[in-house]
Amino acid sequence: MARGAAFLGSEHAILCGAMSWVSERNLVAAISNAGGFGVIACGAMTPDLLDKEIAATKTLTAKPFGVNLITMHPALFDLIAVCASHGVGHVVLAGGIPPKGSVEAIKEFGAKVLVFAPTLALARKLLRSGADALVIEGSEAGGHIGPVSTSVLAQEFLPALAEDHLVFVAGGIGRGDMVAAYLEMGAAGVQLGTRFACASESIAHADFKKAFFRANARDAVASVQVDPRLPVIPVRALKNKGTEEFTAKQREVAQLLDDGKVEMGEAQLRIEHYWAGALRRAVIDGDVENGSLMAGQSVGMVTSEEPVATIIEGLLAESEQALSRR
Ligand SMILES: Cc1cc2nc3c(=O)[nH]c(=O)nc-3n(C[C@H](O)[C@H](O)[C@H](O)COP(=O)(O)O)c2cc1C
């Protein structure tokens, strides 16, 4: 983990992946204070809100933390400017290929850039053009997902890139045994979301947490695309009424597209706004029926509320045990 930890400036190379509404000041600061690396989820925040969130996080921790920006956010460059004004050390660009000039704009104020890449060829290209580190995230993960599992991505990307580049592995990591396995394969560190979502320091509603404690891996299902003309990124979440509502939402947006009332970019943005709203209903309001309970398959290993420090210590102990068994 040393390489990853040196890059992040944290004690352990364990990132808590940004989770919209969940990864706010309290959880982010708790993760960083416990020796991990917290990341603020900017999601659909305005630049003004992000500004306040970063400032508030700084009052809760003196340790490094990052900011996750969604590439399709209409105010991406203003959000980058907010990160610059706070001297944020690490920016994660998520949700698609970084638009032209965004990596450069982040590097210009001295921050490190972490990117996601769906294919090895694209990963190489992004690393060549300035990205400092890569996150590979498999389909076991919670939230927006790609089609390939973490185990396959790890076998494809790590042998090819890990010697010369920093690669963090995410998706489906529930125990330290898996952390050890990916480190052995060359990963610089790992990123977890689901395991941290219900930590004591997480502001997620008590009912949201209860739904996680009750759920098994098989309850965390990927959304399906209902209209071939409207490509939607699948989202993994616990099955509920909201899952069905998403089907209706897709039909509604596809109709607007057909009627020429919106363009493709706008249609996809409407889908993303839908998710942001649905996730908020579940995380903040505790509406676990109609809201979106985004969760990864590791949700079956989330059985009780624990402080972040306990979760991190547990992962490290399991990882060490696994390595000494070897
Ligand atoms: C509730 C929830 C919300 C998420 N929101 C975001 C997000 O806003 N941006 C992002 O890049 N990833 C998001 N993710 C993905 C996490 O950052 C992380 O990569 C993922 O949870 C790792 O896989 P795991 O859930 O199997 O641990 C979210 C995940 C969850 C569970």
User: Which tens digit of pLDDT belongs to each residue from 118-137?
Assistant: 999 999 999 999 999 999 99
Q: Please provide the CATH number assigned to the domain covering 2-203+302-325.
A: 3.20.20.70
Q: At which residue do the structure tokens 């690669």 appear?
A: 167
Ligand 1 centre distance from Cα of residue 260 (Å): 33
Q: What is the pLDDT of residue 272?
A: 87
What's the 175 CA to ligand 1 centre distance in angstroms?
Answer: 17
Query: For ligand 1, what atom is nearest to the CA of residue 174?
Result: 27
Whose C-alpha lies nearest to ligand 1, atom 11? 94
Helix segments in the chain, DSSP class H: 2-8, 25-33, 47-60, 76-86, 102-108, 120-128, 150-161, 176-184, 194-197, 206-214, 241-258, 264-283, 308-325
pLDDT at 269: 85
Q: Is the Cβ atom of 143 under 6 angstroms away from ligand 1?
A: yes
**Number of separate helices (H) and strands (E) present in the chain:** 13, 12
CA distance 169 to 154: 7
* Helix, strand, or coil (residue 285): coil
| Among the listed residues 84, 120, 124, the one whose alpha carbon sits nearest the alpha carbon of residue 102 | 84
pTM above 0.75, yes or no: yes
**Comparing 10 with 272, which gets the higher pLDDT?**
10
The CA 326 to ligand 1 mean position distance, Å, reads 31
Taking only the tens place, the pLDDT of each residue in 166-182 is 999 999 999 999 999 99
Flag whether pLDDT at 240 surpasses 90. yes
Q: Is the pLDDT of residue 229 over 90?
A: no
pLDDT tens-digit map of 29-83: 999 999 999 999 999 899 999 999 999 999 999 999 999 999 989 999 999 999 9
- Mean pLDDT for the chain overall: 96
Give the helix ranges, DSSP H, for 176-307.
Answer: 176-184, 194-197, 206-214, 241-258, 264-283
Domain ranges of the chain: 2-203+302-325, 213-297
The count of other CB atoms within 10 Å of the CB of residue 147 is: 9
- pLDDT of the residue at 70: 95
